[in-house]
Structure 1
Amino acid sequence: MESTRKAIRVFDAFPKVPPSDTVGSYRGSYSTFVTYFFMVFLIWVQIGGYIDGYIDHQYSVDEIVRNTLDLNIDIVIAMPCKYLDANVRDVSEDLYLAEEILNFEGVNLPNAFWNMAKSKKSTITPDIDNVLSNSLEADFVAKGQRHNLELPSCRIFGSIPINRLEGDFHITAEGYGYRRPQVTPEELLNFTHFINEFSFGKFYPYIENSLDGTVQKTSNGRHTYHYNLKVVPTIYGKLGHEIDTNQYSVRMYETDNKYSPGIFIQYDFDPIKMSIIEQRLSFFQFVIKLVTIIGGLWVMASWLYRFMEKIIILTFGKEFARRGEEKKSGLLDDPIEEYESI
């Protein structure tokens, strides 16, 4: 039985050192303080990360069959409403007379409004907290309303159902692009515009999209603005609450077109869906991760300390390395060495 116990003790991977055989030093104390500091810091960071969670970005094929969706528009153009046409056309050659649903409201804006600086057109991926806090669904109550059509500027707003196909929404002048009995006078052509809202899907008026706040100013009446949009279905999720919306990237260029001046916004839909979900580790995973980090830090600190001690011994010698160590007396101590040290 005793031989079996001795054989088992051979496999002890955790050797014990009695306190009487350990020696303290100033370098060891400083190293311990530094190690404890980093250990507390890492524990604090991991606890904060566990409480806050992390954002998981995933891309997948959009498995939802989406035949139609809403196009939400709120745009102001520096022309009277009675000279403007708004239409939607897609690759199926389906022409939708958007002006039958959109609202045309004449407004009188000061020149200072149109002197606003051009805004940057870039892809915007809002913060998940910002999306969820501003995800108040709304709707344009009025449809197909016409007011103050003679005023110098026109606000076009509303939601129109479109096919989920490649297409374009365009605003042109009467008599340009489509045959109309009325032709817009040359001196009134001006496609200076301000886009307050342009989004796809459910209308969340407080979520910022890539074209929101865009201002373009021109002095050429026969000027054309082209916007190319790539729409990506996007799901934002946090604490079980999900928002199904869309975001898009924008490319823009301008041309002079004497036959069909206007604003052309071309769009296409990606088959890829992006999911931005806030997740948290389980408590069991958090504990394992915390123990792993603490254990790894402790082992690395011991290795670094031993390596530092070796470097000191090789560089300055053993006598220099033993400075600052705790002095202990025992039966094996050299009395002559102790007498000389006194």
Structure 2
Amino acid sequence: MHRVTVLSVDLARRHALTINVDITFPAVPCAVLSIDVLDISGTAENDASFAHHMHVHKLRLDKAGNQIGKAEYHTPQSQQIMDTGSEQLVSVNIQEAMQHLVDMEDEADHAEGCHVYGTMEVKRVAGRLHMSVHQNMVFQMLPQLLGTHHIPKVLNMSHVIKHLGFGPHYPGQLNPLDGYVRMVGREPYSYKYFLKVVPTEFYNRLGRVTETHQYSVTEYAQPLQRGYAPAVDVHYDLSPIVMTINERPPSLLHFVVRLCAVVGGAFAVTRLTDRWVDWFVRLVNKGAARAP
């Protein structure tokens, strides 16, 4: 089985872009972790609002990386909670904000982590997947509401990317960031990944097509600047080129050529072995004839 790859200009009108994520943050509690998707058209969605195109799940992890319980963590969602996309969560519902703060405190005090997985459907334009920490602005505007509570300060954005892809998977597909590990030392860092996404059409030997995407990536990490929240940003941009991959069985001529190569190689090895054996036999006989 061999594959033929063709590059051409993408003229087709395609469906929405699906982002598949499976990422673990060992030092960021689920209540603290904020997930946003923003694009150049102005569309912004996050896990703190009723985002109909975000199907993201959060699982709480203990200090050892083991899952806590079987239920997933649900970020408080309300029409009264808005995430500005600049690491700031604004809530006008005091009761919900207080409950969220209690969750953040409890999980941070126990040094919990978070396993995030799921899918997001976004427009086919350049955009950014932004993963950072919540800074609950209602308590900064009204600090008297804090009482004995405190806003956890999380700076360690260590992460393990088990999978990051766009669209369905096809046999043999490789995603550069799958299995990628970044652990932060003493100094906090922010990470940026710049992805060039290439539309891909994979045709198997039966002619069935899988429309998906491949990507290349460039990584950029920088020490956290004073006054900024740590973040992991995935910037993606679509290529105007489409890659078409056809999986084809070998032709009869190709099969005959390979068969001839195998037969010819076997014949050559046989002749060479025969010569070596003949030379060895003659050498033995010659030595026996010289013996008294």
Scaled by the length of structure 1, the TM-score of the pair is 0.52
Are the counterparts in 1 of residues 165 and 175 from structure 2 also a CA contact under 8 Å? yes
What letter corresponds to residue 152 of structure 2 in structure 1?
P
Q: Say whether residues 1:94 and 2:43 are aligned partners.
A: yes
Which residue number in structure 2 is paired with residue 108 of structure 1? 62
1:63 Cα deviation from its structure 2 partner: 2.5
**1:156 offset after TM fit, Å?**
1.2
CA shift, 1:241, in A, is: 3.0
Q: In the alignment, which residue of structure 2 is the partner of 1:153? A: 113
Tell me the amino acid that sits aligned with residue 117 of structure 2: F
The letter of the residue matching 2:58 is F
Report the CA distance between 1:67 and its aligned residue: 4.8
Q: Matched residues in 2 for 1:159 and 1:143: separation?
A: 15
* Residue 254 of structure 1 pairs with residue 203 of structure 2: no
Residue 266 and residue 59 in structure 1: after superposition, are their counterparts in 2 closer, same or farther (change >3 A)?
same
CA RMSD of aligned residues (A): 3.5
How far residue 237 of structure 1 moved from its aligned partner, in angstroms, is: 2.1
Aligned twin of 1:275: 244
Deviations 1:141-193 (A, max 9, x none): x9984699726100111111111110110111111xx846478533x321001
Q: What are the residue-to-residue correspondences of 1:39-54 with 2, within 5 Å?
A: 52=1, 54=2
CA distance in 2: counterparts of 1:198 and 1:61, whole angstroms: 25
> Is 1:225 aligned to residue 173 of structure 2?
no
| Pair 1:198 & 2:164 matched | yes
Q: Deviations over 1:244-276 (max 9, x none)?
A: 211100100111233131100100000111112
**1:289-331 Cα shifts (integer Å, max 9, x gaps):** 97xx99xxxxxxxxxxxxxxxxxxxxxxxxxxxxxxxxxxxxx
Q: Which ranges of structure 2 fall in alignment gaps of 5 or more residues? A: 77-102, 141-149, 262-292
Q: What's 1:70 paired with?
A: 18
Deviations 1:197-245 (A, max 9, x none): 1111236799542111111011346420010000011122221233221
User: Greater share of helix residues, 1 or 2?
Assistant: 1
Q: 1:92/1:195 Cα in 2 relative to 1: closer, same or farther (>3 Å)?
A: same
Same amino acid, percent of matched pairs? 30
CA distance in 2, matches of 1:153, 1:143: 13
Task: Give, in whole Å, the separation in 2 of the partners of 1:205 and 1:194.
Answer: 23
Q: Cα distance 1:144–1:270, how it changes in 2: closer, same or farther (>3 A)?
A: farther
Does the C-alpha gap of structure 1 residues 157 and 206 become closer, same or farther in structure 2, counting only changes over 3 Å?
farther
Give yes or no for contact 1:229–1:248 (8 Å, CA) kept in 2.
Answer: yes
Native 8 Å contact 1:88 1:98 kept in 2: no
Counterparts in 2 of 1:231 and 1:82: CA distance versus 1, 3 Å:
same
Whole-Å separation in 2 of the counterparts to 1:210 and 1:193: 15
Q: Which amino acid in structure 1 is aligned with residue 239 of structure 2?
A: D
Distance in 2, matches of 1:69 and 1:104, equals: 22
> Larger strand proportion, structure 1 or 2?
2
- Quick one: structure 1 residues 281 and 76, their matched pair in 2 at CA, closer, same or farther if it must change by over 3 Å? closer
Q: Report what 1:31 is aligned to.
A: none
Structure 1 CA distance for aligned equivalents of residues 11 and 200 of structure 2: 13
Does the 8 Å contact 2:60/2:73 carry over to 1? no
| Aligned pairs for 1:2-151 within 5 A | 52=1, 54-77=2-25, 78-98=27-47, 101-110=55-64, 145=74, 150=107
Change (3 A) 1:71 1:179: farther
Q: Distance in 2 between matches of 1:98 and 1:221?
A: 28
Unaligned 5+ segments in structure 1 are 1-51, 113-141, 295-342
Residue 235 of structure 2: which of 252, 266, 277 is its match? 266
The equivalences for 1:256-335 within 5 A come to 256-257=223-224, 258=226, 259-279=228-248, 286=253
For 1:57 and 1:70, locate their aligned partners in 2 and report how far apart those are by CA, in whole Å.
23
CA shift in 2, pair 1:180/1:174, >3 Å? farther
Q: 1:67 to 1:276 in 2, by over 3 A?
A: closer
What amino acid is aligned across from residue 162 of structure 1 in structure 2?
V
User: Number of residue pairs matched?
Assistant: 205
